[in-house]
């Protein structure tokens, strides 16, 4: 009888492996790997920059966004025109001194299939049945990749390290669609680090420098970029499609970061699953990891039921796939966890958590914000 639990575990493991093989395998190859697709990427370049008046930073920070426009609502919305897409991808830049600019962009080799839609708010829940989140404990995990790429914003959200000085997050974490939230002018990004009992690292006696718990070390933000598609009045409340922002830190963070990538279709994702880690408010001080299946998708959004709470907004949604050129496995950020939507499924309301997909156009824009050179943004 003692061997039965072990046998059940082996049978379960075999079942999961067979399930993955059915979901991902190719009948023509026993060694098929979920591979990052190759994309023909557009180019998004600045055309002109205008100076704007300083904002009042009067908005209350909202750690969640909700909308009632579901997949069918999005899919049924007419595609925007070329001029509308240029308007949505134009962006505001906020600097640490409070000054602000608007940059208008041009788009070249435009990809088709960009869809937008309106949305309305409704009270939400974000835990589906049994809570399947995992709190990550111990510096050996928290300080190692990929969990070490998750950072906390001083406004209460989560962000992900995507370059030496850049953090990707949700736009609503710093801007409510009308103006910037309180605290954005002095925005900081927090990195979990060990807290030593003796208050320092330089003690000669190793026993006095045993990590007691983790603490946040903060770095100020130099500037932020928010697409105009998020800012109400420009995109006519198109919902979550442009709920993303990039933060540039005042100094390098010196950690391994996770690159961004163009979001494959849900069918191309390994096991049809996504992963993300965030600082959920109901578990203060804890980094919380989760993974789940994608239930539906539109061109701009991924619909899933990963358990999440306010505070996880802005988390980078990632997958691990095979990089054919380098012959290695690589994780990439393919979306940003935004919030919640109630969806009418055949007359019955159903709720989903939503991630904003990094489309080819969004990749080109975010990559340019990071690199400052479109030639470095030709591979998604």
Tell me which residues are annotated as active site: 172, 237, 313
Three-state SS at 252 = coil
Radius of gyration of the chain (CA): 21
Half-sphere exposure (CA, 13 Å, Cβ side) for 72? 8
From 82, 100, 97, select the one nearest 42 (Cα to Cα): 82
d(CA 191, CA 215): 8
d(CA 124, CA 286): 23
Strand partners, 52: 100
From 356, 283, 284, 372, select the one nearest 115 (Cα to Cα): 356
Number of helices and strands in the chain (H, E): 5, 17
Tell how far CA 111 is from the center of its chain.
22
Burial of 322 per CB tally in 10 Å (0-12, 13-18, 19+): middle
Q: Are 327 and 374 in contact (CB under 8 A)?
A: no
Between helix 82-89 and helix 360-371 the angle, nearest 10°, is: 40
Q: Are 42 and 109 in contact (CB under 8 A)?
A: yes
d(CA 101, CA 151): 26
DSSP per-residue string spanning 295-337:
EEE-SSEEEE-----TT-TTPEEEEEEEETTTTEEEEEEEEEE
How many residues does the structure list for the chain? 380
d(CA 317, CA 220): 24
């Amino acid at each position: 009888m003692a061997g039965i639990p072990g046998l059940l575990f082996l049978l379960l493991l075999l079942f999961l492996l067979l399930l993955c093989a059915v979901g991902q395998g190719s009948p023509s190859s026993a060694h098929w790997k979920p591979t990052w697709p190759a994309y023909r990427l557009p180019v998004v370049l600045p055309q002109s920059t205008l100076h704007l008046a300083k904002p009042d930073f009067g908005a209350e920070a909202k750690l969640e966004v909700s909308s009632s426009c579901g997949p069918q609502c999005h899919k049924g919305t007419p595609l925007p025109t070329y001029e509308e897409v240029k308007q949505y991808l134009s962006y505001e830049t906020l600097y640490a001194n409070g000054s602000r600019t608007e940059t208008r962009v041009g788009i070249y080799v435009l990809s088709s299939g960009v869809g937008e839609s309106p949305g309305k708010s409704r009270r939400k829940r974000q835990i589906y049945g049994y809570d399947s989140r995992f709190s990550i404990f111990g510096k050996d995990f928290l300080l190692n990749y990929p969990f070490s790429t998750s950072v906390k914003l001083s406004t209460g959200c989560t962000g992900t390290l995507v370059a030496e000085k850049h953090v990707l997050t949700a736009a609503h974490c710093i801007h409510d669609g009308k103006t910037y939230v309180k605290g954005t002018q002095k925005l900081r990004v927090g990195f979990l680090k060990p807290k030593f009992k003796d208050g320092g690292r330089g003690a000669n006696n190793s026993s006095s420098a045993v990590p007691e718990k983790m603490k946040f070390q903060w770095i100020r933000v130099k500037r932020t970029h928010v697409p105009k598609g998020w800012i109400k009045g420009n995109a006519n409340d198109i919902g979550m499609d442009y709920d993303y922002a990039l933060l540039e830190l005042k100094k390098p963070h010196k950690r391994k970061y996770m690159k961004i990538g163009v979001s494959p279709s849900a069918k191309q994702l390994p096991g049809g699953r996504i992963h993300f880690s965030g600082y959920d408010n109901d578990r203060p001080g804890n980094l919380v990891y989760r993974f789940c299946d994608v239930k539906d998708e539109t061109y701009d959004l991924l619909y899933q039921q990963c358990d999440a709470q306010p505070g996880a907004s802005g988390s980078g949604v990632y997958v691990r796939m095979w990089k054919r050129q380098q012959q290695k496995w690589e994780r990439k950020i393919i979306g940003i966890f935004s919030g919640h939507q109630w969806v009418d499924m055949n007359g019955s309301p159903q709720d989903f958590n939503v991630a904003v997909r990094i489309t080819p156009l969004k990749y080109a824009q975010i990559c340019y914000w990071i690199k400052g050179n479109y030639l470095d943004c030709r591979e998604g």
